[in-house]
Amino acid sequence: MKATILSGLLVCCCVLAKHERKFPSDFLFGAATASYQIEGGWNADGKGENIWDHMTHTRPEVIIDKSNGDEAADTYHNYKRDVEMMRELGLDAYRFSISWSRILPNGLANYINEPGVEFYKRYISEMLKYNITPMVTLYHWDLPQKLQDLGGFANPLFPEWFEDYARIAYEKFGDRVKHWITFNEPREICYEGYGSTTKAPMLNATGVGVYLCAKHLVLAHARAYKTYDNEFRATQNGLCGITISVNWMGPLTDSEEDQFAAEIKRQAEWGLYAEPIFSQWGGFPKELSEIVAKKSKEQGYPRSRMPEFTEEEKQFSRGTADFFGVNHYTANLISANDYKAWNPVPSLYNDADVGVYIPPEWPQSASRWLRQAPNSIYKALTHLHKKYNGPVFYITENGWSTTPDAGLEDEDRIRYYRAALNSVLDALKAGVNLKGYMAWSLMDNFEWMEGYAERFGLYHVDFESVEKTRTPRKSAFIYKEIVRSRTVNPDYEPPNRTMWIEEGH
Ligand code: GBH
């Protein structure tokens, strides 16, 4: 008798525990891509040149395989197949970006390229036909070249240009798009593009460009948010946020020095962009600003290389996001004294001046920077949740790369996604207000400086074929089952490898 009660209790508890390891039914599961990485049609139907067109055409040698996004996965012509893949996976949502120069070929709002607008209208309609929620990024790195010629993000007029572009996007698509993301990954735009040479426009204005860009980017975001708020929210009733790359930066040891170093690293990586928008006080992160001001002085600059936000600008920028989009891939362990690499003087990382350690036992992807770190989504999200008083989050990217010849049996990607989604469940259980998860990526695409040499897709793309044939990897079947069952079953094996479309999709 006792035994039956006990085992009954046990069954009960297990069911309960299992129940807790479930994603809510309204949780948005999706996948993400970006215009330049998939669209192709680089000069089709009146599209203008952007900074990636310009860079890959004028300096092909900077891309590892000398490739470019001229054709990429040719989504410009294959968008129906893309939506079919979303349906095969049973996705609730799809995150993609609009190419600014497809809509405004010269960047400014005096001339709208209607065929470009029509393309996105068709793409969005096709998703909505099957109940797939579009989540639209306004800027995923492909600035119209004409605006770069004027200095791009370094020009103080940038926020106005961006506001004008955002308004046109809301006008054209806002009746049907309810999730807007202003910028994808400010760090990659500002540090990699302006403060070093690892993204277009490769400006390498180290220690100066990055901060200038950061300030104008934040103001541009705030303007686009306020435009939505003032002119569109009442009739369109959507949300507007920003996506920031938040890899977990934890201390190497518990020492106070390492903990402070990790905080400085977080400020340098994403605090520069998150603090002005999500903190109560606004403006750049305090400790890092102080360090940069002090070093600038020592280096002979008449004022800090990091511009300040005026009180008015602080007030204008804070609180300007309905959600915090997080792109998360990996983690680093931060040391105050050890593992330091050389950095130019001045530069963001010379300013921050900390060491980075990555345990060699963490599994390695095909990308140098990407290793599978333990429970890092939970660590990053619970940290942000506390720091910024429980905002709404979406994970807008998370994924794993393999080599082009790795084939369709991507066990390491499966292992990564399962671990990541368990970490998501831990975060949900801890009370983090996370509303959705977008896998990077729906399909293989142009991986920036790495060309086609690193593959992030749930679907393999045959870039040699005219049709850019898409074929599901094993991970696509695993993700599909996670989306369907709302659980992460570590033992699930797809019974066969044919994709079908579930009823209702
Ligand atoms: C995201 O960036 C992007 O949003 C997306 O477009 C991209 O395809 C995806 O992730 C996968 O990379 O150490 O010099 O080699 C992720 C962020 C990727 C930032 C790699 C740092 C390493 C530069 N980062 N990058 S380097």
**pLDDT tens readout for residues 32-76:** 999 999 999 999 999 999 999 999 999 999 999 999 999 999 999
Q: What is the dihedral sign for C-alpha 451, 454, 459, 464?
A: positive
400 in ligand 1 pocket by Cβ < 6 Å? no
Structure tokens at 160: 């106005």
Radius of gyration for the alpha carbons in the chain, expressed in angstroms and rounded: 23
Asked if 231 and 170 count as a contact pair (C-beta separation under 8 A), the reply is yes
Task: Quickly tell me which residue has 């996705």 as its tokens.
Answer: 91
Asked if 266 and 249 count as a contact pair (C-beta separation under 8 A), the reply is yes
- The Cβ-side half-sphere exposure at 268, using a 13 Å CA radius, reads 25
Give me the percent of the chain exceeding a pLDDT of 70: 96
Best CA proximity match to 29, nearest among 458, 413, 367, 390 = 458
Give me the percent of the chain exceeding a pLDDT of 90: 95
454 in ligand 1 pocket by Cβ < 6 Å? no
User: Which ligand 1 atom sits nearest the alpha carbon of residue 245?
Assistant: 17
What whole-number distance in Å separates Cα of residue 251 and Cα of residue 332?
A: 8
pLDDT of residue 504: 75
Asked if 373 and 331 count as a contact pair (C-beta separation under 8 A), the reply is yes
Question: Which residue's CA is the nearest one to ligand 1's atom 25?
Answer: 369
**pLDDT tens readout for residues 262-320:** 999 999 999 999 999 999 999 999 999 999 999 999 999 999 999 999 999 999 999 99
- Residue 245 backbone dihedrals phi, psi, to 5 degrees: -80, 120
What torsion, rounded to 10 degrees, do the Cα atoms 112, 113, 115, 121 define? -40
Catalytic residue chosen out of the listed positions 39, 126, 185, 192 = 185
444 in ligand 1 pocket by Cβ < 6 Å? no
Task: Sort residue 300 into left (φ over 0), alpha (ψ -120 to 50) or beta.
Answer: left
Judge whether 464 counts as a catalytic residue. no
Judge whether 185 counts as a catalytic residue. yes
Task: Quickly tell me which residue has 């129940």 as its tokens.
Answer: 19
Least-confidence region, from 7-21, 101-115, 122-136, 155-169: 7-21
Position 502 pLDDT exceeds 90: no
pLDDT of residue 505: 77
pLDDT of residue 2: 43
Burial class (CB in 10 A: 0-12, 13-18, 19+), 322: middle
User: What CATH architecture does domain 24-504 belong to?
Assistant: Alpha-Beta Barrel (3.20)
Ordered by start, the domain boundaries in the chain are 24-504
- The Cβ-side half-sphere exposure at 330, using a 13 Å CA radius, reads 18
Catalytic residue chosen out of the listed positions 49, 269, 397, 447 = 397
